[in-house]
Structure 1
Amino acid sequence: MLIRLFFLMIGFGFAVSGGVTIIVFMNMLRTGHNIVHYAQYIFTEGSFYLFIIGMTSIWLSIYLPTHKRK
C-alpha cells in the first residue's frame, strides 16, 4: 500500500511539473508561432515525457490490481 502511495505522489509531481511547463509554453502561440511549431517543440522537450510518465504512474498506482497474500 505504501509503495502505491509513493508512486502516486511521484507520478503526481511529475505530471504537475510537466503539465505546468506545457501550459507555460503555450505562450509561444501568442508570440506568433503556430500550433505545428508548438507541437514540434513540446514533443522534443523533456517536460512532455515527464507529463506522460507521471500520468502513467498515477494510472498504474490506482488501477493496477493488488497482489493479496494468502
Structure 2
Amino acid sequence: MNNILRILRTERGWSQAELADRLDVSRQSVNAIETGKYDPSLPLAFAIARLFERGIEEIFDDGLSVSKAAE
C-alpha cells in the first residue's frame, strides 16, 4: 500500500522514533509502514490520520481506482 507518511512526518520535523512514540508503536513499525513493507491495522491507520488531521484516504492509497473497486 502506498502512503505519504514519510512526507507528513518530515514536514513536522519528527524522527521515526518521535512518530512511533506519538502512535505508541515501535520505530521499526513506522519504518515498515513508510516503506510499504507493512500495512497498518485499521485502528493504527485511524490514529495516524487523526495525528496528521487528514483522512485515511489522503495518507494511504491501495492502488485501486474507484472504477476498479466498483467492479
What TM-score do the two structures reach when normalised by structure 2? 0.31
Larger relative contact order (CA 8 Å, sep ≥ 6) = 1
Higher strand share: 2
Higher helix share: 1
